Amino acid sequence: MKKYSFIILTILAIGINSCKSFKRAKRFVFRDTSITTKTSFNNFFFDSVQIELFLNNHIEFKPFEEQFHNFYKERNYQYAWFDNKGIAEQAFNFLNLLNSTVADLQDSSLYNPSLTRLYDTSVADKLHHQSKEEILKTELSFTGQFFAYAEKVYKGSDIDAADLGWFIPRKKLDLSALLDSSIKSKATDIEIYAKQNPQYKKLQEHLVYYNELAKSFPSDTIPYVKKPFKKGDSSQTVSSIKKRLNALGDFKIADTSEAFDSLTVSAVKNFQKRMGLSVDGSVGNKMIEELNVPIKWRIRQLLVNMERLRWMPPEKDINYILVNIPEYRLHVFDSGKTVMDMNVIVGKSANSTVIFTGNLKYIVFSPYWNVPTSIVKNEVVPAIEKNSDYLAKNHMEITGNSNGLPLVRQLPGAFNSLGLVKFLFPNNYDIYLHDTPNHDLFSQSSRSLSHGCIRISDPKKMAQYLLRNDSSWNSKNIDSSMHLTKERWVTLNKTIPVLIVYFTAWVDKSGELNFRKDIYGHDEKMAAKLFTK
């Protein structure tokens, strides 16, 4: 990781002795290749009962009892962190990685000063005077700390994701196999074997910066304004705005003047884009609200989203569709690269869009809209009672009855609530992508407006992409199919994964850190679980 990780770590309020230990851990290890009677002890094998004795004395590693046995059983209870020359290179590499991670995340739960002391003792002794018991303690301590590190950084907390409305299967990780791979390769970065979503590292880099920024960022608040600041205005408040934009990386120069000039406009637009605000270059109260968010809250936001990324399966060079609910955007990835982006409208807070994954299989041109029972009961039936022409005026028809309620559907056409096409990925939540007759809504900065399904701004472009490898489909055929009097189903030759996710912090393809509002309160619920202790 970064060369200055150990320097950062010493700033943590952990203790003078630990700081000295971290500095010592970086020295080069010279090994004595001699083997004495004392150091040979059965060629570095130990009795399996020693694991139980160790875990009884180190209850912090007790949750990994199964992993301990699985790992050492596979290697016939042979030492992993030692060889006949002393403590192995793998231990040095892992200790550096561990200490750097603690510094970057400022996470004291991973901090283990005793591990550094055990390492230093082993380096100094080179197996000459250490007892078998001391060497075994060091061996098992490194294994236990590796499991704790890998679970925290690569697997994530034991939070029940479903309790937070997250129904994407969590990434599975075999800690024993991961340790075995790392030991064999002498890897300095176990991510080679525990692939993470690339976003994780990007957010971690910004987390390091924000932890440092928290020491100097202004604690006062910028006052709200009666009318937005625009180019040509001048005010002491403009100077305060410039200072914050500079600290946050949007204003590239340290300009503290009171003038709202063209450079200020550019910085404001950059900030507005990163926050998902209307990009107009003026500073109104919505932007001031975002500027006033304390850095410590941004840090919590980063940590919450990094936890979600630990749950995510690693990105692969495949085709898939990703919808990020708080961003109100859909992204299409082809061979791992973004090939299409478009605005979307998601569910209102009361009808929140579910976080899950599915496989897009069908395109339905000129669809009927089978009105959900809840809407029939709460909206359609009362409207019919007030106006007998309601169905005809809204191009609807009754097709039957169920449990005392009419079954209602809306006919195909430009007026249809699903628009001219829908895209189905069968799921238990009755959520899909579809067109809409109200395209003017896509220009709004906040777009949580639907009953739960996802409206997309450019449905024809989506259809063209999905059918791009089928020579029987062209722009004209797609247009005509979108204007039929009866719906037409098309089954894709190959399904495409759809991931509906919830990230309020991420780094975009330009390298800019983005934040969004927690529109469903999921961040708040997760923070309560992550930071309660």
| Catalytic sites, residue numbers | 434, 453
Asked if 511 contacts 499 with a C-beta cutoff of 8 angstroms, the reply is: no
CB atoms within 10 A of CB 361: 16
What residue type is assigned to position 167 of the chain? F
Asked if 104 contacts 208 with a C-beta cutoff of 8 angstroms, the reply is: yes
Cβ-in-10-Å burial (0-12, 13-18, 19+) of 133 comes to exposed
**Among 156, 6, 221, which residue's Cα sits nearest to residue 96?**
6
At 267, give phi and psi (nearest 5°).
Answer: -65, -40
What would the DSSP string read from start to end of 95-106? HHHHHHHHHHHT
CB atoms within 10 A of CB 80: 22
Element holding 85 (H helix, E strand): none
Separation of alpha carbons 147 and 67, rounded Å: 8
**Among 403, 405, 397, which residue's Cα sits nearest to residue 370?**
397
323 has which bridge partners?
Answer: 330, 500
At 258, give phi and psi (nearest 5°).
Answer: -90, 0
Separation of alpha carbons 360 and 362, rounded Å: 6
Local structure of 295: helix, strand or coil: helix
Tokens 């040509």, residue?
A: 232
**Among 25, 313, 13, which residue's Cα sits nearest to residue 169?**
313
Separation of alpha carbons 244 and 255, rounded Å: 11
For 52-79, give one letter per residue: b (16+ CB within 10 A) or e: eebbeeeeebeebeebbbbbbeeeebeb
Asked if 216 contacts 240 with a C-beta cutoff of 8 angstroms, the reply is: no
Helices (H), 292-331: 295-311
CA 80 distance to own-chain centroid? 33
